[in-house]
């Protein structure tokens, strides 16, 4: 099973963003994880379009954008323009998540879904055929520094089993938290 290193950029110093990205670019990381928050879906704010543009200009690594916001479909074109390679949505944050996931793929980007600790696997099964990635939150979304919720580790195992059973063994699982 492929294992990738995907450091989160949430706590980088914005004063030294370019330097921080250049260090990560040669660190052995595979993907850089960018949290975007709207202050509504989660009560916090994350990186901006301009931050993502700066990151993209200073790395050739894949960028995954974790959209912790309501109605992320409104912004996927812009995130794609600014350099996102993988775009994650929370299915419960979008009115019609299937349309948003298909639009991400139409833009030439890899679609992904996020599963919060309290979301059941039954609620996301129909979306698995539309994604390249599943991001499992091992903490509640929105704040850095939380303690791991142990039950989420079993959820990762169950998701892998479900993906394999449905014939989606190529879908990658990422853990966040």
How many angstroms separate the CA atoms of 32 and 65, rounded? 9
Q: What are the tokens at 108?
A: 């030439």
19 is catalytic: no
38, 51, 64, 176: the catalytic one is 176
19, 35, 51, 122: the catalytic one is 35
How many angstroms separate the CA atoms of 176 and 82, rounded? 22
176 is catalytic: yes
How many angstroms separate the CA atoms of 159 and 155, rounded? 6
Beta bridge partners, 135, equal: 114, 174
Q: At what angle do helices 17-25 and 49-57 cross, to 10 degrees?
A: 50
Provide the 8-state DSSP code for 165.
Answer: H
Task: Report the catalytic residues.
Answer: 35, 176
């Amino acid at each position: 099973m492929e294992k990738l290193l995907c450091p989160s950029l949430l706590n980088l110093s914005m004063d030294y963003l370019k330097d921080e990205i250049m260090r990560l670019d040669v660190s052995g990381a595979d993907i850089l994880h960018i949290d975007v928050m709207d202050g509504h879906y989660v009560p916090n704010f994350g990186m901006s379009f301009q931050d993502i543009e700066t990151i993209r200009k200073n790395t050739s690594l894949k960028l995954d954008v974790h959209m912790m916001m309501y109605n992320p479909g409104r912004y996927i074109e812009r995130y794609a323009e600014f350099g996102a390679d993988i775009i994650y949505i929370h299915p419960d944050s979008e009115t019609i998540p299937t349309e948003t996931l298909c639009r991400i793929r139409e833009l030439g980007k890899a679609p992904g879904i996020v599963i919060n600790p309290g979301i059941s696997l039954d609620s996301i099964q129909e979306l698995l055929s539309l994604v390249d990635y599943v991001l499992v939150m091992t903490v509640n979304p929105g704040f850095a520094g939380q303690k791991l919720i142990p039950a989420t580790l079993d959820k990762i195992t169950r998701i892998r089993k479900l993906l394999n059973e449905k014939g989606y063994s190529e879908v990658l699982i990422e853990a966040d938290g």
